[in-house]
Structure 1
């Protein structure tokens, strides 16, 4: 079994970033692995079991061809390229090509609406759009916001008014000298949802994501060149860059990619059984769905490591998966703004429900409003130390929003916006987003603890806990619950669940209101959108959250 870190403390103490002055992931990493001409980079499978195998040499050559196209069509260093498509192989080729020419890649999900697309194109002053047919149809409805766009390219079938990816590629050479990009130059622009207003534009440099994700790939994903790594996330959000691109390919691991329209639990388990997948990475929602299946019916002969990220994973789910597979899911924590900063690493004992310990290269603490480090057991803000040395794996800025950027920093610290408690042994325990914490009759209640308790009850498949306005207590705990098969909503079940939470956690934390729902609103990355539920709840009662 691979293990890139055997002594956590020693690795933490000896770690140095050593960021080079110039770095280009496509040239320095992909082209390096491409020197082994037969080295597998990707095993791609669609819903009909069609398989395509691609080597690092394939990705090197095809991304160079696309880089030639982009350069010939006038795309230059610093231009923004909107990249939106499902799990097509062209997504990876395009990402690498943009890095080669020094363009700024701005990935997005295929679920974006016409309005979303117009906002992104106009706000980022996009110079190019490379996308799938479905998104191209939406963009063709946009007129005024396309004034900056020089290149529109579509994959799959030819489309009027668009360059056709496959046709164009055949006309350009496989030789391209990558632009010499400085490590501190812009490389990626993520649009990330806030709790209010329009999405923030999170800008990363060549060092803050493409280079720094070697920490993610080496220490947390724990990958080696012989691995076949499957990340379940969509291409439209930061987690794909984490676990479907930079982390694995830094380590020379091959990617397993399943092109599917939606996640299906039985299909996922069948794939794990059929293919030699060694490492799996998914959102907590994926694992919560998987453990509802009869796992005794499946065997995963090649699987050795499982990781989860996006939001904390409930201890009950970790235990169920471990009992069925013998593998402990290792939770990891980071943001669109960062690489992996806290995690459960293979050489460190997992404490189910804990976020783990800070990753090598990061000094992370729980601090108070004045920037003081809090003692163990005290709740505060999760903060990353940026002075005297700013870690490589931290975003450059919220693009074009200096005030919003400045508000993320407090003295020598970057404030993540998440709350936690650190225990005596240095493990971090998630409490909630700063704006998710519920204040009920003077008590501070983190939604995750209540959700973790509810999911232990056999009737509960998923839950989301938010604040609800209350005249007496200010706020109360309200739970939205998705039931498992065979259970029906009833007042008796409400009381049973309330009593169960009271018996497991402090009584003041129990949900005074429970609403049964068919599904929970989620982001494309699978995170539960508590903010949406909370805003609906407060609006329903004529209040402002």
Structure 2
């Protein structure tokens, strides 16, 4: 069966598309509750590793979220209050997101990987007044609650002494609730996003711009329709969940598939679920697809699957090719940040250039600029930037809360500067180079880590790689590669030489990794992005120690 994409003519859609923002907007009332008018329409299909399974209609979640909204109001949570939401992929996460938006509170999603110290920092920085969490994370909160001066309400999913029981309170609450008539420019979501230095920034999104902006994400990039079942592999604690597990799908009336697992990511189990359930669209980090292609994909038949996307980091052309050969589906890249909705995408109507992020999203003028804020010619590297004057586009964050200097630092003339580097080609396609901080400068050459990583992963011995700058007295920096080997391969000096020669052939010879270290794992964020900053710092300390040892022997 042939599916017509929501965007059939890129140039026409890009030229004509515009989002309108009303003066007052609340996503739960103005979008979610309208889908709930159909009492049978599926909103969420949840499964876990124990074989438990639950389905929720829009109507059921609407009523459950109204009950929770009444609970929160009863306990003194009001419009504008910051509330920490620390839940894994369980139905209560979706209910809580809806309820908090419904009452006009500012929701602060967090990942279960946060430590007690991280939790304290978030409460101190945000002046948060409440937390909704589960019994697994509750002990971390208890460890620091007496040091969190603004914390006054603790709700737990499950039963725990000293906590208000989520289910007990919700089950007895009223279903009647009048959703707050929030202004479009009021804060709605606060994300803590880590940079390469310093403490996490508090990224503020408003009630209208972010949810409405994710129409672009849901309609054009995810290509969702009301009868789709969409699975996003990301954790609930990062902005990709808002993109692809909340606003994006529900803007389009699509149902969300969720899998709650307490263990590590299991590629085989994930592929089994993809085959078993009628999942039509899949969104995952590149790291997931990289391990998928190491499996025997001929064992699976994804009967319902029609559309796959990846975001977080660019996806290697080799992986796209293997997945397409096995499934017939091209993985389409998308680019954006915690601060934005989907800015650039390989939309279904576009020809895919493997390795490219695609073209700018309708609603955004995105380009590559130099240090003075001028657009650079095709083929020249520069900073990825979004034009914000004369009109700020819908879907861009409001500010870094309580940090005007950091907010101002993102502006260069008429542009919002993302902090990422890219090249735009003659056809308007964007090619990711790396974070501005990740670019390696060796003997005067600028080298983007992604190009070297892509070259390495094309070799059959390489399952995954991360490339960073390593200090070097002669060249300033050299290219250092950390490599996870594919099954059946063992580390050796011969393999190091083979990989170096391979990179020289695939890309420019000066870009080859002068050092290769074989590792079992790579440090990653919860969203699956490789933490190159950690590897760089490790290299810096290692080289400094070597230098000091050498000096002491002289």
Which range, TM-score by smaller chain? over 0.9
Specify the SS of the correspondent of 1:263.
coil
Deviation at 1:485, TM superposition (A): 0.9
Aligned to 1:102: 104
Specify the SS of the correspondent of 1:140.
helix
Structure 1 stretches of 4+ moved >3 Å: none
- Distance in 2 (CA, whole Å) between partners of 1:43 and 1:138 is 29
Matches within 5 A, 1:310-459: 310-459=312-461
Q: How many aligned residue pairs are there?
A: 543
CA contact (8 A) 2:324 2:330 kept: yes
Aligned to 2:210: 209
Deviation at 1:39, TM superposition (A): 0.2
CA contact (8 A) 1:228 1:256 kept: yes
CA contact (8 A) 1:2 1:223 kept: no
CA contact (8 A) 1:208 1:338 kept: no
CA deviations 1:503-532 (Å, max 9, x no partner) are 111000000000000000000000000010
Aligned to 1:121: 123
- Distance in 2 (CA, whole Å) between partners of 1:511 and 1:384 is 33
Instruction: Pick closer, same or farther for the CA change 1:2–1:74 going to 2, 3 Å.
Output: farther
CA contact (8 A) 1:210 1:246 kept: yes
Matches within 5 A, 1:184-203: 184-203=185-204
Deviation at 1:188, TM superposition (A): 0.2
Aligned to 2:160: 159
- Distance in 2 (CA, whole Å) between partners of 1:264 and 1:252 is 29
Aligned to 1:172: 173
CA contact (8 A) 2:215 2:251 kept: yes
- Distance in 1 (CA, whole Å) between partners of 2:426 and 2:151 is 54
Task: Confirm whether residue 238 of structure 1 aligns to residue 239 of structure 2.
Answer: yes
- Distance in 2 (CA, whole Å) between partners of 1:500 and 1:149 is 56
Aligned to 2:31: 29
CA deviations 1:48-89 (Å, max 9, x no partner) are 222100000011000000101111111111100000111010
TM-score normalised over the length of structure 1:
0.99
Deviation at 1:350, TM superposition (A): 0.8
CA deviations 1:323-368 (Å, max 9, x no partner) are 1100000000000000000000011111110010000000000000
Deviation at 1:155, TM superposition (A): 0.1
Aligned to 1:52: 54
Specify the SS of the correspondent of 2:522.
coil
Matches within 5 A, 1:121-140: 121-140=123-142
Aligned to 2:549: none
Aligned to 1:468: 470
- Distance in 1 (CA, whole Å) between partners of 2:401 and 2:202 is 5
Deviation at 1:2, TM superposition (A): 4.0
Aligned to 1:225: 226
Task: Confirm whether residue 527 of structure 1 aligns to residue 522 of structure 2.
Answer: no
Deviation at 1:162, TM superposition (A): 0.8
Aligned to 1:147: 149
Specify the SS of the correspondent of 1:494.
helix
CA contact (8 A) 1:479 1:515 kept: yes
- Distance in 2 (CA, whole Å) between partners of 1:393 and 1:468 is 37
- Distance in 2 (CA, whole Å) between partners of 1:144 and 1:162 is 14
Deviation at 1:143, TM superposition (A): 3.7
Specify the SS of the correspondent of 2:136.
helix
Aligned to 1:542: 544
TM-score normalised over the length of structure 2:
0.97
Q: CA RMSD in A?
A: 1.0
CA contact (8 A) 1:343 1:357 kept: yes
Specify the SS of the correspondent of 1:212.
helix
CA contact (8 A) 2:21 2:209 kept: no
Select 1:489's aligned residue among 484, 491, 495: 491
CA contact (8 A) 2:27 2:208 kept: no
Deviates more, 1:533-542 or 1:302-311: 533-542
Specify the SS of the correspondent of 1:100.
helix
CA contact (8 A) 1:494 1:514 kept: yes
- Distance in 1 (CA, whole Å) between partners of 2:458 and 2:317 is 9
Unaligned runs of 5+ in 2: 546-554
